[in-house]
Amino acid sequence: MTADSPLTPDLCPDLCVIGAGSGGLSVAAGAVQMGASVVLVERGEMGGDCLNAGCVPSKALLAAAGAARAARQAGGFGLRTSVAVDFPAVMAHVQAVIAAIAPHDSQARFESLGCTVLRAPARFLDARRLQVGETVVRPRRTVLATGSRPTLPDLPGLAAVPVLTNESLFTLREAPERLVILGGGPIGVEMASAFLGLGVPVSLATGGAILPKDDPDLRAVVRAALVADGLDLHEHARAVAVEPGPVLVLEDGRRLAGSHLLVAAGRSPTVAGLGLDAAGIDHDPRRGIATDARLRTSNRRVYAVGDCAGPPYFTHRAGHDAGIVLRNALFRLPARARHDRMPWVTYGDPELAQVGLTEAAARDRHGDRIRVLVEPFAGNDRARAERRTEGLLKLVTDRRGRVLGCGIVGPQAGELLAPWVLALAQGLRVTAVADLVLPYPTLAETGKRAAGAFLAPALFGPATRRLVRLLARLG
């Protein structure tokens, strides 16, 4: 089909949003409620990966594992319990959580908001028009929100063996006898933690260290917890083949056999089949759709949000992108995306959360002109009361106390990160947190104590003592 084709458009909305995952739904809901006409296109399940195969089911599974783990550890509180995991019931819980959230992302809800929802594949005919099933759409602006898919590595024998990815994992109805995981990123670590908590033996192999983007001090706590939970961990172990069984063969000859193999070796943007070349949109199968800071593609009438525009692959990034696109596409405001301050959390047990620069990244950028403040959970009274003293908070600032980054590993780390996300976004100094009055006892006091430690050398130093003595002599 060419630009000279006689095919005329059936719909000419203000916006056509391709993809009904978190980013696309946020754009569509915001735009239609602001008065724009919106066509929302989805060829698969409404809600996308996050609802059906990502954030929601994984956190529901982790919650079940956490409940089982807590029951097994109840002896420390003087309680006597036993745990019997009913795996089909656990997976029914996961599906029930998805079903409870699904109406919010459903076709019916978005049609009730005023969107025209088309359930068919979409591809560009030219720079302006799209073919969606039997319908031709010529929008004023188009937003691509097609997400990402699991990447399967090029391993000999992999194609001949049934494997799990996050897209198929949550369809299991019987517990694996032994789960082998390939990949030590957030998905691999979270699922290792979940299945260990449910009593499933797990082996995990990764070509480097687990959670390679995180601070080594923080991931050491996660590693120790996983190993203590029974994980058969193989770091810096490159996989070279897969054999029936399945058996994962490592470069040094070790063989990891299991009843199921989960491949969690990264993700790739979903860009195939969209006709991007016909629309003049620069893209790459691995890096995704190229965008500028305003999330415009090389076709200035087309925007891209979330995973399809490349990493970082976070649902909250897609939500952030949606707000940027709405300001640009609807109001012509030159809003710019900020992905450098994007927080992330790995929701294992314990959780690991990070925003801003790690210590290593801060030293690379600022040299020795930084302060690193570490506060262990072992010094927190609430953590002691709950027998959850593993973990720490690491705060990185410049010499004037401006927050550069914060990493937390421990119980509820994702929740405890919130004030540091705010501090980084607003350019605050640690005094903003040190001056807070927090209820006692709370885990949040860990952050306040770290902030206070920045002020301690000046507050309790020789100059302060001299001033106190001088004022005392003055009566």
Integer Rg of the chain from CA: 25
- The reply to whether CATH 3.20.20.100 applies to domain 158-265 is no
pLDDT tens digit string along 120-178?
Answer: 999 999 999 999 999 999 999 999 999 999 999 999 999 999 999 999 999 999 999 99
Q: Dihedral through CA 302, CA 304, CA 305, CA 306, nearest 10?
A: 160
| Phi (first) and psi of residue 351, to 5 degrees | -75, 155
Q: What's the pLDDT at 464? A: 77
pLDDT tens digit string along 197-249?
Answer: 999 999 999 999 999 999 999 999 999 999 999 999 999 999 999 999 999 99
For residue 11, the 8-state DSSP code is B
Q: What's the pLDDT at 1? A: 42
Q: What's the pLDDT at 6? A: 60
Q: Mean of the per-residue pLDDT values for the chain?
A: 95
Is the fold of 15-46+106-150+268-331 the same as that of 350-459?
A: no
Amino acid at 374: V
User: Residue 463: which pLDDT band, with cuts at 50, 70 and 90?
Assistant: confident
Q: Rounded distance, CA 160 to CA 420, Å?
A: 47
Sign of CA dihedral 435, 439, 440, 445: negative
Q: Which residues pair with 289 in a beta bridge?
A: 283
User: Residue 422: which pLDDT band, with cuts at 50, 70 and 90?
Assistant: very high
Q: What's the pLDDT at 220? A: 97
Write the CB contacts of 289 (distance below 8 Å, at least 6 apart in sequence). Answer: 144, 269, 271, 276, 281, 282, 283, 297, 304, 308, 309, 310
Amino acid at 268: S
Determine contact, residues 370/341, Cβ cutoff 8 Å: no
Determine contact, residues 156/144, Cβ cutoff 8 Å: no
* pTM (2 d.p.): 0.93
Write the CB contacts of 222 (distance below 8 Å, at least 6 apart in sequence). Answer: 189, 210, 211, 346, 348, 350, 352, 409
- The reply to whether CATH 3.30.390.30 applies to domain 350-459 is yes
Sign of CA dihedral 409, 415, 417, 419: negative
Strands (E), 381-443: 392-398, 403-410
pLDDT tens digit string along 263-279?
Answer: 999 999 999 999 999 99
Q: Rounded distance, CA 23 to CA 317, Å?
A: 8
pLDDT value at 4 more than 60: no
Q: At what angle do helices 216-228 and 186-197 cross, to 10 degrees?
A: 30
Amino acid at 288: G
User: Residue 457: which pLDDT band, with cuts at 50, 70 and 90?
Assistant: confident
Q: Rounded distance, CA 367 to CA 362, Å?
A: 7
Structure tokens given for 33? 């409620």
- Which residue, among 251, 172, 247, 242, has the nearest Cα to 208 in the 3D structure? 251
pLDDT value at 469 more than 90: no
pLDDT tens digit string along 339-359?
Answer: 989 999 999 999 999 999 999
CATH code reported for the domain at 15-46+106-150+268-331: 3.50.50.60
Q: What's the pLDDT at 2? A: 45
Domain boundaries, the chain: 15-46+106-150+268-331, 158-265, 350-459
pLDDT value at 461 more than 50: yes
Q: Rounded distance, CA 257 to CA 178, Å?
A: 8
% pLDDT > 90, the chain: 93
User: Residue 472: which pLDDT band, with cuts at 50, 70 and 90?
Assistant: confident
Q: Rounded distance, CA 22 to CA 32, Å?
A: 16
Q: What's the pLDDT at 3? A: 45
Respond yes or no on whether the N-terminal peptide bond of residue 246 is cis (omega within 30° of 0).
Answer: yes
User: Residue 456: which pLDDT band, with cuts at 50, 70 and 90?
Assistant: confident
Q: What's the pLDDT at 311? A: 93
Q: What's the pLDDT at 5? A: 54
Which of 8-12, 111-115, 186-190, 285-289 bottoms out in mean pLDDT, i.e. has the lowest?
8-12
Structure tokens given for 411? 């119980």
pLDDT value at 29 more than 50: yes
Give how far the C-alpha of residue 250 lies from the chain's centroid of Cα atoms, to the nearest Å.
28
Q: What's the pLDDT at 467? A: 80
Write the CB contacts of 1 (distance below 8 Å, at least 6 apart in sequence). Answer: 7, 125, 126, 131, 278
Q: What is the mean pLDDT of residues 16-28?
A: 97
